[in-house]
């Protein structure tokens, strides 16, 4: 068969780039064989930037970090030819201050992914925390037209995920449960338990990861996540998977199923 484009969820990506970290013998064998197929160019591998931007903040640190996070803002003004008129440009960008140091294991995974030819998928949330590990080159070459089309579809898919109660909106619901005087929901995570805060960011990452995959129009989304503990609102619940497949044609696949497809 010809090559296929695949987005790997973090629970598969981690074992493909670092198979020695896998404790399950059968899964390790499958991931090693998938890695071989990547090297042979039969799989075009991708991973969402949310793995580094959001999940890259360790679970124990998410409560404090996101509870105190504010995007960086700047305002530039200039006078015009009209008396009393001033024009301005207001910018919102990721704020790197206060971000915990990157886990060296995650850095190793990303470096191995680069060697294997992984492309990182862009999740264009305004002011989204950005991992210092990522470089522009990790996203690969894209024209302005391609970027525009990908972003439009990303937000369309994101809104659909939210309409199902998953992804970003499920994370926001956790923050809103603890919200008092905070300006935005994620600041309220500082009042949440560490487990609730970690779950909120994980669900946000999962939803945006699905949206990036749809935005880029890739063939398969490879994951082991069945939402067994996250409940029916999770983007990976059976009902939400079915709805996403019906709406966008997304094809979910397990590592074993992907390997069987490649070796058929």
The residues spanned by each domain of the chain are 4-68+99-263
> How confident is the model over 108-124, as pLDDT tens digits?
999 999 999 999 999 98
Residue 79: what pLDDT? Answer: 79
Which range in 125-129, 141-145, 178-182, 218-222 is most confidently predicted, on average pLDDT?
Answer: 218-222
pLDDT of residue 183: 86
The token duo for 83 is 């008396």
**Cα atoms found within 13 Å of the Cα of residue 21, Cβ hemisphere only:** 13
Q: What are phi and psi of 134, to 5 degrees?
A: -85, 140
> 247: buried, middle or exposed (CB in 10 Å: 19+, 13-18, 0-12)?
middle
pLDDT at 230 over 70: no
Phi then psi dihedrals of residue 45, to 5 deg = -90, 140
- pLDDT for the residue 137: 95
- What local confidence, expressed as pLDDT, does residue 233 receive? 74
Mean pLDDT of 143-157: 94
What would the pLDDT profile of 179-219 be if each residue is shown by its tens digit? 998 888 999 999 999 999 999 999 999 999 999 999 999 99
Long-range CB pairs of 146-153, under 8 A, 24+ apart, other chains included: 147/122, 150/122, 150/215, 150/216, 151/122, 151/124, 151/215, 152/215, 153/214, 153/215, 153/217
């Amino acid at each position: 068969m010809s090559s296929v484009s695949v987005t790997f969820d973090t629970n598969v990506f981690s074992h493909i780039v670092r198979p020695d970290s896998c404790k399950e013998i059968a899964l390790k064998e499958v991931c090693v064989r998938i890695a071989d197929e990547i090297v042979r160019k039969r799989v075009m591998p991708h991973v969402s930037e949310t793995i580094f931007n959001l999940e890259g903040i360790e679970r124990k640190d998410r409560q404090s970090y996101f509870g105190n996070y504010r995007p960086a803002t700047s305002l530039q003004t200039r006078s015009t030819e009209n008396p009393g008129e001033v024009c301005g440009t207001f910018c919102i960008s990721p704020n790197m201050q206060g971000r915990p140091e990157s886990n060296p294991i995650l850095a190793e995974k990303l470096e191995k992914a680069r060697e294997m030819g992984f492309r990182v998928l862009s999740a264009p949330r305004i002011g989204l925390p950005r991992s210092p590990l990522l470089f522009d080159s990790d996203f690969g070459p894209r024209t302005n037209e391609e970027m525009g089309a990908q972003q439009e579809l990303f937000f369309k898919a994101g809104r659909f995920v939210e309409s199902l109660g998953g992804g970003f909106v499920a994370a926001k619901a956790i923050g809103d449960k603890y919200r008092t005087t905070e300006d935005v929901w994620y600041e309220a995570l500082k009042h949440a338990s560490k487990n609730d805060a970690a779950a909120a960011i994980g669900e946000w990452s999962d939803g945006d990861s699905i949206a990036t995959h749809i935005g880029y129009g890739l063939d398969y989304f490879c994951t082991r996540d069945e939402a067994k503990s996250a409940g029916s609102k999770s983007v990976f619940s059976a009902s939400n998977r079915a709805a996403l497949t019906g709406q966008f044609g997304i094809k979910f696949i397990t590592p074993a199923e992907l390997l069987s497809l490649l070796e058929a």
